[in-house]
Structure 1
Amino acid sequence: MTSNAAAPTRIVDGVELPAAGAWKIDPGHAEVGFMGRHFMLTKVRGRFTGVDATVYIGERPEDSKVTAEIDMASVDSGDKTRDDHLRSGDFFDVESHPKGVFTSTAVSWNGKAGKLTGDLTIKGVTRSVTLDVDYLGYARDPWNNDRTVFSARGKINREDWGLTWNMALETGGILVSKEIELSLEIEAIREV
């Protein structure tokens, strides 16, 4: 393994990865999204626009850590009525629980891909979540900021966090799926 503190990337086991240190998520270039099914058929997507997170890249990739705080009221699914319902006590209860928090507990890494496991707290309930992560690359923006880009995905059962509101359908099944797919597209700026 080689490392150059001034360089924004380094070679680890023959693979170019971001330099060790803190990388702050750029909320204007981050997509923290989710997808559930309505009537068990239609995909309904949403995202959180208020995210404050830092990726701490370790000298050894498996020593990396992620901390994130999510403004739960920033949920945006493209429909005001649905978003207001998601903010209500039936789902996120943002009056009593305005923030969601993610803190990583373990990272495994192989080349440009890995698994990130951490504790996700929503509505006062904390459960473990594992995401599949891909490192997509590095770029320097026109303002001389070093940026690194990651993509992540995973699945959760929303009921594990007490998000149990639902309605039975006459034809069988339920209105809102229990399984939720998580999808993250993250740009992070190197802190110096």
Structure 2
Amino acid sequence: MAAPVRRLAAVAIAMLGNAGASAAPVEYTLDPVHTSVYFGASHFERSSVRGRFGKIDGRIVYDADSGAGAIDVTVDLASVDTGNRTLDGVLRSAQFFDIAQFPLARLRADRFISDGGRLVAVEGELSLHGVTRPVRLQAERFRCGEITLFGVSRQVCGGDFRAEVPRSAFGMTRFLPDAGDIVTLHVAVEASPASSPAR
């Protein structure tokens, strides 16, 4: 069993023990087609440099009864795409991500924060460029339930999240301050239970 799966299984067991017999935490596997991570940073305070990552993998554990949950997501940094091949090469190089040494970024969060029954944020840690720092993502929306498309029904959890991260906190200081320090992340996720086939 891979480490992320073991960790999420442990969280699910803890959630069962803490929330009582009615709790029903479910493990969801991210749908790579409908999951994305976009980023943006200022360029000379005149415009923004924007891009996305194309290879994302991960799982979510969520208990709809209690609102508790956990996330473990990895991003393949080599899949960065800004629409500019030269810039993509610079970002992959030792000047920024240094993918030869640090090929993956990883988000692990085990605190789901709700207000009035609505998820408003998740808190955990982001590992990037060999550094791990606390991170809080604001939940712009989050919902779980059955959807039907082309006559096929399945359970789906999905949401949009936003965070601002100082790249200098992760040791990436190249081109500061011309290229902005604060990087805005937009994370969109959709996930379905691995054991729940479409019907």
Aligned mate of 1:191, from 175, 188, 194: 194
State the alpha-carbon separation in 2 of the partners of residues 109 and 31 from structure 1: 23
The CA deviation at 1:36 is 0.5
The RMSD of aligned alpha carbons is 1.6
Aligned to 1:124: 130
Q: Which residue identity lines up with residue 122 of structure 1 in the other structure?
A: L
**TM alignment of 1:20-59, pairs within 5 A:** 20-58=25-63, 59=65
1:124-169 deviations in Å (ceiling 9; x for gaps): 10001100112156423444332222010011111000111015xx
SS at match of 2:153: coil
Q: Which residue identity lines up with residue 130 of structure 2 in the other structure?
A: G
Say if 2:112 and 2:119, in contact at 8 Å, map to a contact too.
no
**TM alignment of 1:152-191, pairs within 5 A:** 152-166=161-175, 174-191=177-194
**TM alignment of 1:24-173, pairs within 5 A:** 24-58=29-63, 59-61=65-67, 63-110=68-115, 111-133=117-139, 134-136=141-143, 138=145, 139-142=147-150, 143-166=152-175
- Give TM-score, length-normalised by structure 1: 0.81
SS at match of 2:51: strand
C-alpha distance 189-141 of structure 1, shift in aligned 2 (>3 A):
farther
Say if 2:144 and 2:155, in contact at 8 Å, map to a contact too.
no
The CA deviation at 1:67 is 0.2
Greater helix proportion: 2
State the alpha-carbon separation in 2 of the partners of residues 136 and 42 from structure 1: 33
State the alpha-carbon separation in 2 of the partners of residues 155 and 144 from structure 1: 35
State the alpha-carbon separation in 1 of the partners of residues 118 and 188 from structure 2: 15
State the alpha-carbon separation in 2 of the partners of residues 43 and 117 from structure 1: 26
State the alpha-carbon separation in 1 of the partners of residues 193 and 121 from structure 2: 22
State the alpha-carbon separation in 2 of the partners of residues 68 and 86 from structure 1: 20
SS at match of 1:47: strand
1:39-93 deviations in Å (ceiling 9; x for gaps): 12211211111110111002411x2000011101011111111111000000000
Instruction: Point out where structure 1 has 5 or more consecutive residues left out of the alignment.
Output: 1-18, 168-173
Q: Which residue identity lines up with residue 113 of structure 1 in the other structure?
A: L
Instruction: Point out where structure 2 has 5 or more consecutive residues left out of the alignment.
Output: 1-23
- Give TM-score, length-normalised by structure 2: 0.78
